[in-house]
Structure 1
Amino acid sequence: MTHSDDFLAVHDPAATRPAHAPDVGSGRWWGFAVALAAGLLLLCALTWLVSVQRGLASLQQSTATRADRYAATLESTLDRYEFLPALVSLHPFVRGLLDSPDDPQRVAAANQYLAEVNRRAHASATYVIAANGIALAASNHGQPGSFVGTDYRFRPYFQTAAGGKMGRFYAIGITSDEPGYYLAQPVESGGKVIGVTVVKLNLEWFQRAGSGAEPLMVSDDHGVIFLSSVSAWQYRTLRPLPPPLQAEMEKTRQYHGRAVTPLPLEPLTSPVTRWLADTTLADGARLVRVRDESPASKTTSAPDGAERAVRYLELDRTVGAAGWTMQVMAPLEPVLANARNATVAAALAYACICLLLVNWRQRRQRARDMQYSRRLLEAAYDQLERRVEARTADLMAINEKLEDEVAERTRAESELRAAQDELVQASKLAALGQMAAGITHELNQPLAALRTFSDNTRVLLERGQLAAAEGNLTAIADLTERMGKITGQLKLFAGKARPVHRPVALRAAVDHVLALLAPRLGAVTVNVTGLDALPGLAVRADELKLEQVLLNLLGNALDAIAAAAPAQGQIDLEVQAEDHAVTIVVRDNGTGIAPQALPRLFEPFFTTKETGQGLGLGLAISSSIVREFGGQLSVANVPGGGAQFTLVLARAPAIDPAPSVSASQ
């Protein structure tokens, strides 16, 4: 057994438990757990019942207050207009119209009077009906949908008023198709009813008095809901209508054009609900539920397939002389949510008390165990301390080793970074070596011309031809400037680049590279497109490193053309500028790149050239430089032969174009 095994054996509770310690998993704990669970269930049930009972009482009180206020508002409105038809019937214009219904002047006077009364009373319409049921005058005369000339004999309010009683009726207008409350007053003369005056009131405002969370509705004596703050409940019935009543409603066209169907409202009949209603609710209040018939509820039904239903506390109030009933529906969900919260809080409190009891019992047991194990812990402490010292020494040694490795890695990274810089410089010098022969040839021609011009100038000076000598001196100055540009570009390319990213004129960089490669071009044609339209186009890079990348890509293209030896070598350099990026495409008609070489083309020391013609570092260094700029360099073969390198760089603000060295120099 190892030292660690000894330590575990010393601290194993099963090995160190005293013989007299009680068995926590014995059967008596099961009885204790069952008692705790029964107590929890009983506490939750009592808490839920008491919370629901108190919540229902509070909800009933607040809802009753609002119901009384709603009922008083509707009652006051109905009472305010109750005597308006009688007042209208007493006016001489109305009685004169009923005496002479064919007199145009009396019809016009009655129409004007009714319009003025209707405007001042803010009613929906006011009109006069003859004893034969035909409307003679109306406040909306001369308007589309005027009541004048309409036969109202089928309306119950006219039939009641024609019998000498006050008529009250809520219906949808057959002419205006607008719902309203009709008050009809008989007009008598000589003990005989000669006509009826009617005032129509729009009560749609009342259904907006309730809120969406607390539905409000008013039903007639047949149980038809004609006002409701829930639009889907309007023109529904609280109970199924008998067939004779349905036929009567169709005959009177009370709700014509509206489908009157039962509202899915039913009382809650569970034993708990009945007990709560008997002990808490007053008369006129009951617990109901309304099934949700919306299309959304069918797609989000309960998991057991039952329809979704909303539970309410319903309070009834009798309103008006027509026997209307107003129902205020208070949702039970807040009461149930509060009861659930109270039940959860009680369960949590009970659980905390139980945990405290269990913890107290376990603490007593643990105290007895600790008295026995303290001696073993004291004996093991010394052994543990010695092992900690040994482990600490090992960790210190490992830490020193890690510090040495970190320092070594830091030195290696510094050397690698320096080697990369040297490789970049070596690549440039190698390119300079390839260009040396061409540049020598390019400089020999100006040197020969300089010798000729200088000899001619000496002869012309001896002859006194100063004008001709001055022309030769000007030609000599041009030749020396040309030679200076050639050697200046070579010297700039050979120098080490500064790691500064700034706007670089793309046109100048391309011209410089083409000037350096001019001796190698020969019969190869270089087509540059896209730069003439944007002379100030600039990219964010380092000038010398960007020229090195372009020189490498164009040099590789020349090598590929030379290897393919086509009849007409051609290199296309296309520039495409976007809002934030510039794409440079270098395409040749050379040999192309073998498919197996494409994935490794940017690896260091990988080359497709013959031995001794390249180190395989040009494209690797170019790819590294482009990544340093934050750009991308990719390669692909061109259908029909040749390769295409695509260089994407970040676009910089435009700079003023300056005179540059052209490829012909």
Structure 2
Amino acid sequence: MPHSDDFLAVHDPAATRAVHAPDTGSGRWWGFALALAAGLLLLCGLTWLVSFQRGLATLQQSTATRADRYAATLESTLDRYEFLPALVSLHPFVRGLLDSPHDPARVAAANQYLAEVNRRAHASATYVIAANGIALAASNHGQPGSFVGTDYRFRPYFQIAAGGKMGRFYAIGITSDEPGYYLAQPVESNGKVIGVTVVKLNLEWFQRAGSGAEPLMVSDDHGVIFLSSVPAWQYRTLLPLPPALQAEMESTRQYHGRAVTPLPLEPLDSPVTRWLAQTTLGANARLVRVRDEARAARTTFTPDATLRADRYLELGRTVGPAEWTMQVMAPLEPVLANARNATVAAALAYACICLLLVNWRQRRQRARDMQYSRRLLEAAYDELERRVKARTADLMAINEELEEQVAERTRAESELRAAQDELVQASKLAALGQMAAGITHELNQPLAALRTFSDNTRVLLERGQLAAAEGNLTAIADLTERMGKITGQLKLFAGKARPVRRPVVVRTALDHVLALLAPRLGAVTISVAGLDEQPGLSVRADELKLEQVLLNLIGNALDAIASAAPAQGRIDIEVQADGGTNSGTNSGTNSDTNGGTVTIAVRDNGTGIAPEALPRLFEPFFTTKETGQGLGLGLAISSSIVREFGGQLSVANMPGGGAQFTLVLARAPASPGANEALPVSTPL
């Protein structure tokens, strides 16, 4: 085409004018296009710069807030434990240990004290080091990897504390191989350091304080990162370490067995970053880049795409008395993405304006497009309205269903409350029945004894044996008093009064019970073992309730022998004392020491108890007797009484036949003359 235009321009002037006119218009168009392109580039550049600056300021503000929170959390933890070594050093156990380090008693006392302090303070370890650097006591004494006996003279915190100052040091333990923050306090006596108390804190939890997309690290005064939420960054250095410092770290074994290498971290240095540092970033903030080797290692930390970026906004804070540096690394990718989105949006808006300016002649076509778009919009609106109506109908149906469910649940709750009220009423009636049946059950034996004693007294009076009759009358008075005490137990059912416990002599209680059961013994042989050697043996209980339990157990043994009808019925009562000393004489002089238990075993030679009945034997209203011979409350009440005494009642079948009930009670010192057996006449 250029060749054809040249040919026409040479041979036809009119054609020349027709050709040059388009050329002139084309030049103006290209100039306009270049101006639009320059405006687009300028707009994109300004939009990106302003958006990035605003996003960076917002990111810096939010990151600074989080950095302050992280720093406050770490400092509060360090401050909370700052005075713990000093408090430990003031305890007499610690100073006594340092005065006599070879005394086993003081070593044991210090170990126990350190373990208790460490448990209550939730520290990793607490230990005491002598002035020669050897650990004398530790909270982990007796455990694998105990600090006791380890030489800590090479540790800087011990060297500082041995010089009379507070030592602070973060290192990896040479014994436990666990990192921690060491606080060392000198222990002085007469102006001389005699030892050092050390508390070790585990700060690994701080690595998980930050979010997954925001790396967090803490470095010491040498620039070594000892805490980091990115595992690949831990035990790396911000700057290369001088050889002298490397040798010092190896001698102190600060990072025991860890290779400390530089982290490929470098600041972003460009005109834009320098301008941002002057206008937007604060004194403790900068833009940095982590090279690809750290990026590749970090991709194993989390699959989040934001952590695969290698550009960060770094904010530093000085934390702790050791003046550590905490650095929060906020990824720049979200800010860059927002800046790119804003730039693209601005470019699109600019392009739309340019298109409007360029295509203003196509208004008719635009009108047709708008009309078409309007029809599409109306159709979409109609579709949306139809969907809204359908959704509204669904919501109304769901609402009605929910109302029905609420009404049903309200009815169910009302029925549940009514059932609960009925259950409470039934429980009250059951408790009332149990109390009445229990009192009736416990009064049967004294009433039978009263009748026997009264019959005997009448016979004795007829015979003129007044002394024996007087003894029976005394026994009747004693039984009457005991029946009054039994009925007085109703107060314990009605109220929450705590029963009175005092030392009760076992022999006296057994004598009273056997006297009550004398009419039922007949040919049954009763043997009592274990009381001849210690007649003053006592237990902590209530006298009447203990006799009530023994009466029930021996009465059940008599019933078992009667039902089995053996050739020779026998009941063995064995009393054993475990722990403490409790000796006495018949005159009532006792030498008692608290502690231990007393076991009373009641054994019979009946047929025993069926295996299926053993688990339910102590349930209320469960009985193995025939109908009308028992209510099934005796053992349930006895078990409840024993639990009140803090004891235990159990049952088991004996290998040779019969059953054994074992009663275990707390042993108590017997007061002089307490619970001495009353003389009771044997019924005729």
Q: TM-score, normalised by structure 2?
A: 0.49
In 1, distance between residues paired with 2:95 and 2:546? 106
In 2, distance between residues paired with 1:287 and 1:616? 84
Does the CA contact (< 8 Å) of 1:528 and 1:573 recur in 2?
A: yes
Q: For residues 580-621 of structure 1, give each alpha carbon's deviation from its aligned partner in whole angstroms, at most 9, with x where no partner exists.
A: x99999999999999999999999999999999999999999
Q: Does 1:659 align with 2:678?
A: yes
* Cα shift at 1:228: 0.5
Does the CA contact (< 8 Å) of 1:493 and 1:548 recur in 2?
A: no
**1:109 to 1:40, Cα distance in 2 relative to 1, 3 A:** same
Does the CA contact (< 8 Å) of 1:492 and 1:544 recur in 2?
A: no
* Cα shift at 1:368: 19
Partner of 1:507: 507
Q: For residues 333-375 of structure 1, give each alpha carbon's deviation from its aligned partner in whole angstroms, at most 9, with x where no partner exists.
A: 0000000000000000000110111101566999999999999
User: Which residue among 630, 636, 660 is the counterpart of 1:620?
Assistant: 636
* Cα shift at 1:278: 1.1
Q: Secondary structure at the match of 1:225?
A: strand
**1:75 to 1:454, Cα distance in 2 relative to 1, 3 A:** closer
Does the CA contact (< 8 Å) of 1:432 and 1:494 recur in 2?
A: no
Q: For residues 400-422 of structure 1, give each alpha carbon's deviation from its aligned partner in whole angstroms, at most 9, with x where no partner exists.
A: 99999999999999999999999
**1:356 to 1:486, Cα distance in 2 relative to 1, 3 A:** farther
Does the CA contact (< 8 Å) of 2:446 and 2:516 recur in 1?
A: no
Q: For residues 636-657 of structure 1, give each alpha carbon's deviation from its aligned partner in whole angstroms, at most 9, with x where no partner exists.
A: 9999999999999999999x99
**1:561 to 1:28, Cα distance in 2 relative to 1, 3 A:** farther
Does the CA contact (< 8 Å) of 2:519 and 2:683 recur in 1?
A: no
- State the aligned residue count: 661
Q: For residues 279-332 of structure 1, give each alpha carbon's deviation from its aligned partner in whole angstroms, at most 9, with x where no partner exists.
A: 101110111111231695899999999998611111111101111010011111
* Cα shift at 1:540: 89
Q: Secondary structure at the match of 2:183?
A: strand
> Which range moved further: 467-476 or 12-21?
467-476
Partner of 2:663: 647
In 1, distance between residues paired with 2:503 and 2:222? 87
Does the CA contact (< 8 Å) of 2:8 and 2:16 recur in 1?
A: no
Does the CA contact (< 8 Å) of 2:74 and 2:319 recur in 1?
A: yes
Does the CA contact (< 8 Å) of 1:635 and 1:645 recur in 2?
A: yes
In 2, distance between residues paired with 1:159 and 1:635? 66
Does the CA contact (< 8 Å) of 1:498 and 1:542 recur in 2?
A: no
Does the CA contact (< 8 Å) of 1:512 and 1:662 recur in 2?
A: no
**1:394 to 1:112, Cα distance in 2 relative to 1, 3 A:** closer
In 1, distance between residues paired with 2:82 and 2:429? 111
In 1, distance between residues paired with 2:478 and 2:94? 118
Q: For residues 54-91 of structure 1, give each alpha carbon's deviation from its aligned partner in whole angstroms, at most 9, with x where no partner exists.
A: 00111111111101110001010000000000000010
Does the CA contact (< 8 Å) of 2:299 and 2:307 recur in 1?
A: no
Does the CA contact (< 8 Å) of 1:530 and 1:574 recur in 2?
A: yes
Partner of 2:281: 281
In 1, distance between residues paired with 2:271 and 2:31? 32
In 1, distance between residues paired with 2:6 and 2:608? 72
* Cα shift at 1:227: 0.4
* Cα shift at 1:161: 0.3
In 1, distance between residues paired with 2:427 and 2:190? 127
Q: Secondary structure at the match of 1:26?
A: helix
**1:264 to 1:357, Cα distance in 2 relative to 1, 3 A:** same
RMSD: 24.8
**1:263 to 1:614, Cα distance in 2 relative to 1, 3 A:** closer
Q: For residues 448-499 of structure 1, give each alpha carbon's deviation from its aligned partner in whole angstroms, at most 9, with x where no partner exists.
A: 9999999999999999999999999999999999999999999999999999
* Cα shift at 1:576: 83
* Cα shift at 1:26: 2.3
In 1, distance between residues paired with 2:678 and 2:15? 93
Does the CA contact (< 8 Å) of 2:453 and 2:472 recur in 1?
A: yes
Q: Secondary structure at the match of 1:181?
A: strand
* Cα shift at 1:129: 0.2
**1:24 to 1:462, Cα distance in 2 relative to 1, 3 A:** farther
Q: For residues 513-551 of structure 1, give each alpha carbon's deviation from its aligned partner in whole angstroms, at most 9, with x where no partner exists.
A: 999999999999999999999999999999999999999
In 2, distance between residues paired with 1:349 and 1:145? 69
Q: How is 1:493-642 mapped onto 2 (pairs within 5 angstroms)?
A: none
In 1, distance between residues paired with 2:404 and 2:385? 29
Q: For residues 192-237 of structure 1, give each alpha carbon's deviation from its aligned partner in whole angstroms, at most 9, with x where no partner exists.
A: 1000000000000001001221111110000000001111100000
**1:350 to 1:149, Cα distance in 2 relative to 1, 3 A:** same
Does the CA contact (< 8 Å) of 2:221 and 2:325 recur in 1?
A: yes
Q: For residues 545-571 of structure 1, give each alpha carbon's deviation from its aligned partner in whole angstroms, at most 9, with x where no partner exists.
A: 999999999999999999999999999
Does the CA contact (< 8 Å) of 2:217 and 2:229 recur in 1?
A: yes
**1:134 to 1:42, Cα distance in 2 relative to 1, 3 A:** same
Does the CA contact (< 8 Å) of 1:314 and 1:329 recur in 2?
A: yes
> Which range moved further: 252-261 or 284-293?
284-293
**1:385 to 1:472, Cα distance in 2 relative to 1, 3 A:** farther
In 2, distance between residues paired with 1:408 and 1:3? 94
**1:484 to 1:297, Cα distance in 2 relative to 1, 3 A:** same
* Cα shift at 1:277: 1.5
> Which range moved further: 353-362 or 463-472?
463-472
Unaligned runs of 5+ in 2: 578-596
> Which range moved further: 140-149 or 595-604?
595-604
Q: Secondary structure at the match of 1:615?
A: coil
In 2, distance between residues paired with 1:12 and 1:624? 131
Q: For residues 158-185 of structure 1, give each alpha carbon's deviation from its aligned partner in whole angstroms, at most 9, with x where no partner exists.
A: 0000000000000000000000000000
* Cα shift at 1:116: 0.3
**1:174 to 1:648, Cα distance in 2 relative to 1, 3 A:** closer
**1:607 to 1:452, Cα distance in 2 relative to 1, 3 A:** closer
**1:197 to 1:224, Cα distance in 2 relative to 1, 3 A:** same
Does the CA contact (< 8 Å) of 2:86 and 2:185 recur in 1?
A: yes
- Structure number with greater Rg is 1
Does the CA contact (< 8 Å) of 1:575 and 1:584 recur in 2?
A: yes
> Which range moved further: 504-513 or 83-92?
504-513
Does the CA contact (< 8 Å) of 1:428 and 1:548 recur in 2?
A: no
> Which range moved further: 400-409 or 291-300?
400-409
Does the CA contact (< 8 Å) of 1:493 and 1:544 recur in 2?
A: no
> Which range moved further: 105-114 or 636-645?
636-645
In 2, distance between residues paired with 1:575 and 1:104? 41
**1:12 to 1:132, Cα distance in 2 relative to 1, 3 A:** farther
Q: For residues 623-646 of structure 1, give each alpha carbon's deviation from its aligned partner in whole angstroms, at most 9, with x where no partner exists.
A: 999999999999999999999999
**1:352 to 1:94, Cα distance in 2 relative to 1, 3 A:** same
Q: Secondary structure at the match of 2:523?
A: coil
> Which range moved further: 20-29 or 256-265?
20-29
> Which range moved further: 582-591 or 269-278?
582-591
